[in-house]
Copies of this chain bind each other. A is one copy, B any other.
């Protein structure tokens, strides 16, 4: 609102990430089945967009690669809208040369349909079931992290079980610098909620961000990212 805006405007400018290019993926991806149907993930984009605002407030140059979401960003943030995981992958890799910190917050569809039908599929009257063959999508954060000119890489792990073990495995397997894990089986956080809680892992480090607004979570996470990034550079 206006009060928040004015307070932010007149607050002393944080320049922790001045001259740092931060690229953030946000929202879900949509994988077409045909012109009317698609496969997607639950994701409002709020966490990614909050991170973009937090990075901007720390003086960073921010680009958001956004899947289909109903959210807006301040004009200072460069926004690239995409639909599918392959679109997002392409834009992410194309921006590598100018990326210092890459934050993969999007809920990317792991699989897409093998064949996209160009006309609406009709309900089959003679059969009660159909099978859909899904093929693996490219792994965006893994490809970014394995590039020769790799940026500082932050991943997310939204899990419903064995959250810590899975997050640490992903950190190592995909060669990330940091991973932020959240347990999406808890109804009060993540997905379409306005709140979130995260546990952040680096190699041999752990940071806990307790349940609070996504805006505040974003601020705390960016502070951790900035510190780790500066120690790493």
Interface residues of chain A, those whose CB is within 8 Å of chain B, are 33, 35-42, 70, 107, 109-111, 114, 119-120, 123, 128-136, 158-161, 184-185
Closest to A123 in B: B110
- Pick the residue among B39, B114, B120, B135 that contacts A37 (CB under 8 A): B39
Complex CA gap A120/B129 in Å reads: 23
- Pick the residue among B119, B120, B136 that contacts A128 (CB under 8 A): B136
- A185: B residues at CB distance < 8 A: 35
Given contacts A35-B185, A184-B36, are A130 and B120 in contact (CB under 8 A)? Answer: no
Task: Assess the A42–B36 pair: CB atoms within 8 A.
Answer: yes
Task: Assess the A123–B136 pair: CB atoms within 8 A.
Answer: yes
Nearest CB on B from A92, distance (A): 18
Complex CA gap A40/B31 in Å reads: 10
- Pick the residue among B33, B35, B42 that contacts A38 (CB under 8 A): B42
- A42: B residues at CB distance < 8 A: 35-38
Given contacts A120-B160, A158-B36, are A134 and B131 in contact (CB under 8 A)? Answer: yes
Complex CA gap A129/B136 in Å reads: 6
Task: Assess the B33–A37 pair: CB atoms within 8 A.
Answer: no
Complex CA gap A111/B38 in Å reads: 12
- Pick the residue among B33, B35, B123, B133 that contacts A39 (CB under 8 A): B33
Task: Assess the A109–B37 pair: CB atoms within 8 A.
Answer: yes
- A158: B residues at CB distance < 8 A: 36, 120
Nearest CB on B from A119, distance (A): 5
Given contacts A136-B129, A160-B119, are A38 and B36 in contact (CB under 8 A)? Answer: no
26 A-B residue pairs with CB within 8 Å: A33-B39, A35-B42, A35-B160, A35-B184, A36-B41, A36-B42, A36-B158, A36-B184, A37-B42, A38-B41, A39-B40, A40-B40, A111-B123, A111-B130, A119-B160, A120-B158, A123-B136, A128-B136, A129-B133, A129-B134, A130-B133, A130-B134, A131-B131, A131-B134, A132-B132, A132-B134
